[in-house]
């Protein structure tokens, strides 16, 4: 390992003063998803708390979390790149949310991460209590359309 540092360009005198060197393996998809969701201050929880301040519940599909992890692997940024990916993903919704009091739920899907599709927003029609989903609603959300007459999905 010290040879790697010397090969990288550090002078041997400097490398000799470093008592411990450690090499790390790159994080895999499962590790990145765990970093997104498990710690007390996980990124997903931070964004959920931000949107909750505006009365909106934020949810991620498992496929969306995996796609975020895959993007970090593709960019070769590891866990540090997760925040940039999340920020790109959430920017538009976080900008619009404070002025949209009708939005009750935001769903992040794989399509939103991989294809740049709009996030699925569940809104409540004023005075009716009827929920309406707008954006790239996943197939199972679209399947609810017409079953009970209370939910409607539109792209």
Q: Per the structure, how many domains does the chain have? A: 1
Query: Encoding tokens for residue 132?
Result: 């309406």
Query: pLDDT, tens digit, for every residue of 78-110?
Result: 999 999 999 999 999 999 989 988 889 999 999
Which CATH number characterizes residue 32's domain? 1.10.8.60
Give the range of the structural domain holding residue 76, as residue numbers without chain letter. Answer: 2-154
Query: Residue 139 and residue 80: Cα distance in Å, rounded?
Result: 32
pLDDT in tens, 28-56: 999 999 999 999 999 999 999 999 999 99
CA distance 135 to 107: 9
């Amino acid at each position: 390992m010290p040879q790697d540092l010397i090969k990288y360009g550090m002078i041997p005198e400097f490398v000799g003063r470093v008592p411990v060197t450690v090499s790390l393996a790159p994080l895999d998809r499962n590790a990145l998803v765990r970093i997104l969701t498990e710690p007390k201050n996980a990124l997903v929880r931070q964004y959920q708390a931000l949107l909750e301040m505006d009365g909106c519940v934020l949810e991620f599909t498992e496929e969306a979390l995996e796609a975020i992890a895959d993007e970090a692997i593709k960019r070769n940024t590891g866990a540090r790149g997760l925040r940039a990916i999340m920020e790109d993903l959430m920017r538009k919704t976080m900008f619009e949310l404070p002025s949209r009091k009708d939005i009750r739920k935001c769903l992040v899907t794989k399509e939103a991460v991989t294809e740049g599709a709009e996030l699925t927003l569940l809104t409540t029609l004023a005075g009716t209590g009827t929920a309406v989903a707008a954006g790239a609603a996943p197939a199972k959300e679209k399947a609810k359309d017409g079953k009970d007459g209370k939910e409607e999905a539109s792209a």
